[in-house]
Amino acid sequence: MTEAEARREILGKVREYYHCFHDGKRWDGKHVSYGGRVYDEREMENLTEAMLDFGLTAGRFAMAFERNFAAYIGVKHCALVNSGSSANLLAFHTLTSPLLGEKRICRGDEVITVAAGFPTTVAPILQYGAVPVFVDVTLPQYNIDVSMLEEALSPKTKAVMIAHTLGNPFDVKAVVDFCQKHDLWLVEDNCDAVGAAYCLDGNWRKTGTFGHLSTVSFYPPHHMTMGEGGAVFTNDDLLAKIMVSLRDWGRDCTCAPGQDNRCKHRFDRQYGKLPFGYDHKYVYSHLGFNLKATEMQGAIGLAQMEKLPDFVKKRRYHFDYLLTLLENCGEKVILPEVAENAMASPFGFLLTCREDISRENIVSQLEEKGIQTRPLFAGNLLRHPCFDTLEKGVDYRVIGELPVTDRILRDTFWVGVYPGLTAEQLAYEGEVLYDAIRKA
């Protein structure tokens, strides 16, 4: 038997295994998850192929994924990493590189952001020693209140780092105009919004193309998955060079893993105070990390990409179904709205209870009947124990009292619209949700 024949036989058995033990699982009629992995035999075949290659670290699958996903988003450069949180860490630290000169973010510089979201959009700022400046958000979009941007600005401001909340694009035009006016970096956290789009100056573009850097996550509930995984994007060649260096230990060499001396100058250059001719593969231009993903993750992601357009389409359909179903519940809850000039790629269906309605009452009814719910992540990150235990000297600023952020902390929850929901599950979720709201 040849290797090619052996592979065909193994992959055939993998397909059989999938259809026997993974395909056609029946819904129990009781539980509806807020999110989850959606896959078929293609992911298992790709994973098996990567296992048979036994390359382990990023190789042909991972590199193909980077090319394909960059093309899907509409950018030049994509760096695959091990999580969405690592993507945010890498994107932020890219802007601290000495190669950026006076534009680099230094300790003590300020970055405008919001507290109503996921903590790892903010954590890299504090961990580095920069100063997050928190502004409020708006209802019912749950995105940054752009009217507060000028008030948040100071001579120390270097960047804006914010997310498209739960797949609903923020006011891209206002944010981009603000950043251009004041020569600021924009880091676009696109982890919950893959496939969303915004019309800027008459042109529709996917979110993730407006920032100097943007990030995505491939954790199982997200728009597509590798298990763990994430990526950073940019159209800027210098930023791309920096982000890959930082991802890969801080190395100066740009050869791919297993590749030597692509530039033909591996041993004939002077770097810093190193001896002349020191091996360029072991020259470090940054104090970096190891944030790389594996070949197995790239293989799964490549198969998931084939399904991504359909995933986004189903999320929009599920979101619109719930929105139509609940259209007469406005006196009890604030229904979500997509931002102007935007097309959402919903991560979930967000609801905020009116002032005299108890979120806990609605959520408890949903959970008792098997409908998973989630808050809007941290709600208000500043209220969490991590901010009570910040080291002395770690600083941040808050613009105003953040009343809407506190409202979200108190009154907001969401349910799932992920593409794995069957028609029966979606109908059950909608029925239980409608009844719980009407009885509130």
- Cα gap 119→387, rounded to integer Å: 11
Spatial CB neighbours of 156, under 8 Å, sequence gap ≥ 6? 108, 109, 110, 131
Catalytic one of 93, 164, 212, 222 = 222
Lookup: tokens for 228 = 């763990």
- Cα gap 388→398, rounded to integer Å: 15
- Cα gap 73→201, rounded to integer Å: 18
- Which helix (H) or strand (E) segment holds residue 439: the answer is helix 423-439
Examine the residue annotation and report whether 265 is marked as an active-site residue of this protein. Answer: no
Q: Give residue for tokens 């959402």.
A: 344
Lookup: tokens for 372 = 């998973």
Inter-axis angle of helices 3-21 and 41-53, nearest 10: 140
Burial label for 247, CB within 10 Å (0-12, 13-18, 19+), is: buried
Whether the upstream peptide bond of residue 140 has omega within 30° of 0, thus cis, is yes
- Cα gap 35→358, rounded to integer Å: 24
Q: What angle do CA 125, 350, 380 make, to 5 degrees?
A: 35
Active-site residues, by number, are 222
